Each structure stands twice: as structure tokens, then as C-alpha cells.
Copies of this chain bind each other. A is one copy, B any other.
């Protein structure tokens, strides 16, 4: 092992240029979708010629695939961290907060994912029905345990997870609409804190067991 990872052996330039391309491709793919994006667009955004880009990634699909693989690892990290050890309400609250922070800090990744799902998930369908389903089922079981123990209100764990995904990712995927509706005053940087406050109230008061 000379490269430090199990990647194919790569030079310094290859590392840097591939990173540059992936960064540019994230920008382009996330706003135009796969079919709507062109290699020329990505190459221009990366500041290189098309043949040069194709020297690092032989096909357009290879770029998208690499981007997608990286995305899913980090994207599901917050859910993986959802654990049985802490206080249930606190765990859920911090899961929501983490997801909202990801929508704020990685909106392009969120949109890339949304584009893929919107188009029928042709490239990651097996992953959804396999790895993702397994993870969600596992966490749903944890949540069910909390419900049985009376720590949170009884409801559908799967749809609870969906609603957390939907509400948080909304601030990345529909950002344009959110800012347009909130207007210049409330649509500024503070909108994520407002959203955090609102979501905390919505979910916690809704989930709190009757006292």
C-alpha cells in the first residue's frame, strides 16, 4: 500500500484535478440533473478543456457515479448516529438539527440527491431498496422501542423519518422558493435559525408523550 487508500494509484495532479472536476460537476449536476448537464458545462466550470476532463473521467456517467457514492456516505451519517443510548427526545431533536445543518451547509448535495430521486432513481435504486431500507428499518425499530417505553408518542416511525427528511431537505431543495416567499427581510441568513426553532416546536410538541 503506497497511496494510503485503496484507490487506484494516482499522481498529485490527478488527485487535485479529479477533485476540481467533482466540485464543478456537483455544481452543474445539482442544478441541471444528469441528462440536463453537459460535459462542456462541467469542463468550463472546472476551468479545463473537455478532452482534458475526459482524461480524468472517461465517461460522463463515471463523474456522476463517483459523486453519488461519496454523497450517500455523508448523507446518511446523521441517521446512522441516531442511537439508543441517549434520551429519545434529545436524540430526535439533534437528528433534526443535524439534518437541517446539512441542508444549510451542503445544499448542492441535497439537490443532487433530489434530482436523482425525482427522475426515478435510475442509478441508485438498488441502494435505496437495499442499504437504505435496511438502515431505516433498523432505526425505526429503535424508535418503536422508545414508543413502547412511553418515551415518545406512539406514531409511525417510518413516516416520522420521512417527515424529518422532507422538512429539513426542503430548505435546500426548495431554497429558491423559500427565499422568494420570505422576501428580503426574513429570507436572509437567519432563515435557518427560524426554521430550526419552528421544526423543534413542531416535532417535539407533537411527539411529547401526554403528561
Known: A167-B167, A181-B158, A198-B159. A114 touches B118 (CB 8 A): yes
30 contacts between A and B (CB under 8 A): A31-B119, A32-B35, A33-B35, A33-B36, A36-B36, A114-B173, A115-B118, A118-B118, A120-B176, A129-B180, A132-B181, A133-B181, A153-B205, A155-B201, A156-B194, A158-B186, A159-B194, A159-B198, A160-B202, A162-B170, A162-B181, A163-B170, A163-B198, A166-B167, A166-B174, A201-B206, A202-B203, A203-B206, A204-B206, A205-B205
Known: A176-B125, A183-B133. A195 touches B33 (CB 8 A): no
A166-190 interface bits toward B, Cβ cutoff 8 Å, 1 = contact, 0 = none: 1101110110111011110010000
- B-contacting residues of A (Cβ < 8 Å)? 31-37, 111, 114-115, 117-121, 125, 128-129, 132-133, 136, 153, 155-156, 158-160, 162-163, 165-167, 169-171, 173-174, 176-178, 180-183, 186, 194-195, 197-199, 201-207
What residues of chain B lie closer than 8 Å to A156, measured between beta carbons? 194, 197-198
What residues of chain B lie closer than 8 Å to A33, measured between beta carbons? 32-33, 35-36, 115, 118-119
The quantity of this chain's copies bound in the complex is: 2
Known: A35-B33, A36-B34, A163-B202. A181 touches B136 (CB 8 A): yes
What residues of chain B lie closer than 8 Å to A205, measured between beta carbons? 153, 205-207
> A159 near B203 (CB under 8 angstroms)?
no
